[in-house]
Chains A and B, each alone.
Chain A
């Protein structure tokens, strides 16, 4: 059998290589829900662990130096507004930069077959990462975004350039719709995007591994023409398969290296979860667009890097150009663990908004696990390192607050600290948190005699004199008699700072404003309080 050895090491075509990230994301889609389920079940299993021994040392982790709040800062509500405007401005400038570079490349004939409709399609897709960066998220908005993407796909198919691959109309439409769906899931879908990105990167490593396995097999065939060195067909297949398993596993394993780097950057605050999704989505999108370029692989990669660098630089410069008010307050969210999606969404909306006012701390539970699901969190879990994520013993929980970063990331958004605890550690963790926050949101929807955990938290708040800094969110099922009984049994008579009915249409706004007012009082204790010259901003 003749075999052309020169073709063995032929690399992928430039267009194939550029579409690889998108292909990786598509491969990751079916895995994402399974991995999310796996994560939730394992975290619940970890929360049921019992302490068997104290850690070796009583070493208390060093607290990151908090930024200081200067006295002449505006009110907390004004700070939140200023930070929001700063993020919107920077995102808009980055979006304009992305489009300006795209237009320059179109004018320079870097791409072939660009039509007004294909440009419109690109414009719709490229909006998604920037909107995600602004946390522009709700079901209605997601439907709107997908709807516009689908409409742009139809326009692109009907009025775009002729497909050189000879696909039918429906096939082309399906291609575009899949692209819209992939970008939605990888950037905007709250509970899946972290896993899609994680699994996408592992899938890319696996695909590269498959390619290398094919090359290795072809190389072996080339060196020892078939049947190889007298091996039987079955044995040849067996050796090929075992070698392929080694190579694919190796490349899939190596894909964890970039994931570990991303996790470290997230932990240090050089990246935020939101920015990571936006940046990775832009990378995938730009790489896919570069697939339509007429250039060879290396110039394409150079252009891709330049494009990303230009957008990143524009974003960073725009952020630096606006002042970031150095004032922050910490919010503690205590709640009745619920399985009701509506209550999850209310809490999610509140904590997302508070991240511009200061850090949010809460005890992790099965109810908000999916919504709070972060890329860094999942990478830590998948790499079997659960520090910064888990309080395993009461002794560790005593030093809990020192391990929580009070500073914002480089964009000026504060962290959401979801503290997972074992059965032995959660009470100590709550005690540590209650003493050191500026405002407390107590979600007592569904509260009653059967909620022992929340009863303990109510008693603790009353005992530590924190009820006047606490806003209660209630519904029809809340048993206020039970609440009063437990609050009174713990000592001095105190009242909640506010009770907000979660059924009212503007409950979230009212709750947010009330919490801002409480946290902004000069007499609030605390801890938060950012600023310092050495901060990341």
Chain B
């Protein structure tokens, strides 16, 4: 799991955005609660559409395979756990990418010694 530390990004108009790196439990468990406070509206809607359609697709696919109910349950549970882990692991990296893409630059970060220790 990546280190957790804070940094501050600024854009040309002087807006400061706080960023936290590392695994995010909120993104893993309640992605909209992670995305909306960061004003990542499109990301939130995108996740909603992809997540729901992928789950529906997976269920449809599993029913067309000759699997027992227990196997279907196991695969579905595994898929959900993987989704949680991916969201938790990459959500903050996505936020950093989004900030950089929108013209934000890193202006303040945890000093190297603290960052390494964090």
Contact = CB atoms under 8 A, between A and B. Distances in A.
Interface of A: 42, 45-46, 48-57, 59, 61, 230-232, 234-235, 238-239, 242, 245-246, 248-250, 252-254, 256-257, 381-387, 389-390, 392-393, 396, 422, 424
B63 interface: yes
Given A49-B108, A56-B105, A238-B73, A383 B37 contact: yes
Given A49-B108, A238-B77, A249 B16 contact: no
A59 B108 CA distance: 18
A256 B33 CA distance: 9
Given A48-B110, A390-B8, A234 B73 contact: yes
Name which of B17, B36, B111, B114 has the most chain A CB atoms within 10 A of its CB: B36
Interface residues of B, number: 46
Interface in B1-58: 6-8, 10-19, 29-33, 35-39, 44, 48, 51-52, 55
A250 B45 CA distance: 10
Contacts of B108: 49-52, 392-393, 422, 424
A387 B30 contact: no
Contacts of A242: 55, 80
Given A384-B17, A386-B8, A392-B16, A50 B111 contact: yes
Q: Which 3 A-B pairs have the closest CB atoms?
A: A253-B32, A232-B69, A253-B36
Interface of B: 6-8, 10-19, 29-33, 35-39, 44, 48, 51-52, 55, 59, 63, 69-70, 72-73, 76-77, 80, 103, 105-111, 114
Interface centre among A53, A253, A256, A390 (most CB of B within 10 A): A253
Given A49-B7, A238-B77, A252-B32, 17 more contacts: A45-B110, A53-B106, A56-B103, A57-B12, A231-B69, A235-B69, A245-B29, A249-B29, A253-B33, A253-B35, A254-B36, A256-B37, A387-B15, A392-B8, A392-B107, A392-B108, A393-B108
Contact of B106 (A52, A61, A232, A246): A52
Contact of A238 (B14, B15, B16, B80): B80
A48 B111 CA distance: 8
25 contacts: A49-B108, A50-B109, A53-B106, A55-B107, A230-B63, A234-B73, A235-B73, A238-B73, A238-B77, A239-B59, A239-B76, A242-B80, A246-B48, A249-B33, A252-B30, A253-B30, A254-B36, A384-B19, A384-B38, A385-B17, A387-B15, A390-B16, A392-B107, A422-B8, A422-B108
A242 B105 CA distance: 36
B107 A52 contact: yes
A55 B11 CA distance: 7
